[in-house]
Copies of this chain bind each other. A is one copy, B any other.
Amino acid sequence: MKVREVQHPAHIVPLAFLITILIGTALLMLPVSRADAVGAPWIAALFTAVSAVCVTGLVTVDTGTYWSSFGQWVIMALFQIGGFGMMTAATLLGLLVNRSFRLRTRLTAQAETHTLGIGDVSSVAKLVLFVTVIVEVMTALALALRLHLGYDLPLAEAAWSGLFHSVSAFNNAGFSIHADGLIRYASDSYFLAPVMLAIVIGGLGFPVLQDLRNKLRDPQHWSVHTKLTLVGTAVLLAGGAILLLAFEWANPRTLGSMPAGDKLLSAIFASVSARTAGFNSIDIGGLTHESLGLHYFLMFIGGGSAGTAGGVKVGTAMILVMLVIAEIRGRMDTEAFGRRISHSAQRQAITVLVLSSAVVVLGTVFILHTTEIATDRVIFEVISAFATVGLSTGITADLPDSAQLMLILLMYIGRVGTITLAASLALGEHRMPFRYPEEHPVVG
């Protein structure tokens, strides 16, 4: 029972994010942060700070023209801190959950494994930092070179753009210094490929990266979580690209006018990006109804646990898929890759899915009630905020303050809430002194 008394880090994370947001807001309100040297209004500064710290990328003002060079550095620092903090915090919480689970199943009472030592924190933070620096530097170099050689950008400008987009990609932040996102690079695979690679690596999540790094040649020994995440990611990436290609092939506002090769590149990029990065190389406002619906799905699921991705996470969704498959096959246990998925993991996954859906529904109803915008666009923006994707059909900048505040709340809950919720649920479970008799109520 001691687990419940320990002051676990699930309480510290929301506070740490809040403080970072407040500092970011204050910095962005300084006149030096604005391109025209007049302090930004609090709501624009707050929205941008929350969007950056929660690595969302939704904006109410154009990053490249509204903010000064200093302001853009602040924004980049905020999403770097946000991404790094999220990855570290979620990995540490996962460590704690895992220890508590092992403790309960093995019944070996080692009291010290309840808590995290300072050694855990620093070793995880060091590893996260290592991965971050490696991926970001390599991506930045590739992008800067491409911009310098392919677009004749001066070296300083190419380096700055390369760095900004590299950090933004790895942290799945989706911020761009261009008002139209990456549409200008829509047919440039030399630019988009490194971006996609950084997005996917950042989005897989730290536990998966660690498994890949330690046991790359030994897939049998990957954890079930790694296998579920990799399979789920592959299916979502490929399925998303194929469906987008089918839905947008002839749409003149998106892929219609492109040659076939560019259609393929754009569909793949959109599929990669929809699951939380939030860069766009096509006009999201021009998507067909069915592609918008596909985006709801991809955005809501998001990326891997304990990474820079948002959403309910691929692993969570895959547990649900495995549950349904087991039920249809008539298996007593929910199984995956030769392992039985614990009842508590299943129930936690469902709880995360249900509560996340409830938040999305409440947010949608609120904005529908306060504006006159079409339902499909409101749902899109709400899921984009909650899953910290940052794609937009173009309505965010024109929303009234109340609706912008709702998006701010959704970004914060979506980013901080999902990881702390899952950890709190897992750590909060306790055995009862007795069990009620079993009953099998009617279903369906």
Contacts and interface: CB of A to CB of B under 8 A. Distances in A.
A440 B327 contact: no
A416 to B, nearest CB: 11
Given A313-B443, A324-B351, A438 B340 contact: yes
B444 A312 contact: yes
Interface string A427-444: 011111001111111111
Which of A332, A339, A378, A441 has its CB near the most chain B CB atoms (within 10 A)? Answer: A441
A235 to B, nearest CB: 15
Given A289-B375, A332-B432, A223 B327 contact: no
A342 interface: yes
Contacts of A105: 438
Given A293-B361, A375-B375, A444-B305, A432 B348 contact: no
Contacts of A365: 290, 293-294
Contacts of A430: 330-332
Number of copies of this kind of chain in the complex: 2
A316 B432 contact: no
A306 interface: yes
A426 interface: yes
B340 A444 contact: no
A230 interface: no
Contacts of A319: 441, 443
Nearest to A105: B438
B324 A354 contact: yes
Contact of A442 (B306, B338, B346): B306
Contacts of A441: 223-225, 228, 315, 319, 336, 341, 345
A437 B290 contact: no
Nearest to A91: B442
Contact of A376 (B297, B376, B437): B376
A431 B440 CA distance: 17
A253 to B, nearest CB: 14
Contacts of A76: none
Interface stretch (A19-27, A174-182, A266-274, A417-425): A417-425
User: What 4 pairs between A and B have smallest CB-CB spacing?
Assistant: A422-B444, A330-B428, A375-B376, A225-B441
Interface of A: 4, 94, 97-98, 101, 105, 205, 207, 223-225, 228, 247, 288-290, 292-294, 297, 305-306, 312-313, 315-316, 319-320, 323-324, 326-328, 330-336, 338-352, 354-355, 361, 364-365, 368-369, 374-376, 378, 418-419, 421-423, 425-426, 428-432, 435-444
Given A315-B442, A374-B375, 5 more contacts: A224-B439, A247-B369, A324-B351, A332-B430, A341-B440
